[in-house]
Amino acid sequence: MDEWLQGGPTGNRAYLALPKSGTGAGVLVLHAWWGRTSVFTDVCDRLASVGYVALAPSLFRGRATAATIAEAEELRDAHDEAAVVVPVVQAALEQLRELPAVTGRQIGVIGFSLGAYWALNLSQGRPHDVGAAGAAYLGHFAEHDDFEPLRAVRALAAKIRAAGREVTFYVYSGTGHWFVEPNRPEYDAVAAEWAWDRSLAFLNPRLT
């Protein structure tokens, strides 16, 4: 079952997907710079199909979406991310935690590209301080990626590990940045399925 939630201090409209059982562990889904398109609400539905309560806010406080890189850049640049995204993400997290359908206090967060940046930000107890986080980290990265070059990926993994946190990063051979998004030309069905299966294997023991 899915529905739209309106509420929280930001008044942001969020997409909610519930499992057939009506209850489950909570997972926050943070979209890429395209906005909250059907790609990301479909992720919520897929999570609900395996027993999770999934919530996807719009990081831009609206229904605008982009289909091209130029449109996505314009959409992103039209917002002051620090002023807009941070309160939206925090409010969505609290809204998810307070839902009667959500079992337990541990919440998973899945972010895509821009959303992954804000997922990492959300996990930190203080700005830019991974050591203050109580989270474990799983990342899926493309081999060929101008947005996230492998040297930066390796540096981030080393920083998280040095802070004493659990981290596992996978790099998928031959892939490009949006390889898990089925509406993108970079989509790689095999790599995307590997990423999905590994994400569930990561979430299940920590949230259930």
pLDDT per position as a tens digit, 58-105: 998 777 899 999 999 998 888 877 788 888 899 999 999 999 999 988
Output the domain CATH number for residue 36: 3.40.50.1820
pLDDT value of residue 126: 47
Nearby residues of 127 by Cβ (< 8 Å), 6 or more positions away: 121
33 and 111 fall within a common domain: yes
pLDDT > 70: percent of the chain: 90
- Taking 50 as the threshold, does the pLDDT of residue 4 lie above it? yes
8 and 109 fall within a common domain: yes
22 and 55 fall within a common domain: yes
* Residues listed for the chain: 208
Burial of 35 from C-beta contacts in 10 A (0-12 / 13-18 / 19+): buried
The letter for the amino acid at 119 is: A
pLDDT value of residue 174: 97
Residue-averaged pLDDT of the chain: 90
Question: What is the residue whose two structure tokens read 């982009």?
Answer: 66
Q: Where are the alpha helices (DSSP H) in 13-138?
A: 38-49, 69-77, 81-98, 114-123
14 and 111 fall within a common domain: yes
Query: Mean of the pLDDT values across residues 163-191?
Result: 96
Nearby residues of 6 by Cβ (< 8 Å), 6 or more positions away: 12, 13, 14
List the one residue out of 114, 103, 127 whose CA is nearest residue 23: 103
Domains contained in the chain, number: 2
List the one residue out of 115, 111, 90, 65 whose CA is nearest residue 10: 90
Among 89, 104, 123, where does a domain finish?
123
Range of the domain at 11: 1-123
pLDDT value of residue 84: 81
Among 63, 90, 123, where does a domain finish?
123
171 and 190 fall within a common domain: yes
9 and 69 fall within a common domain: yes
111 and 53 fall within a common domain: yes
170 and 79 fall within a common domain: no
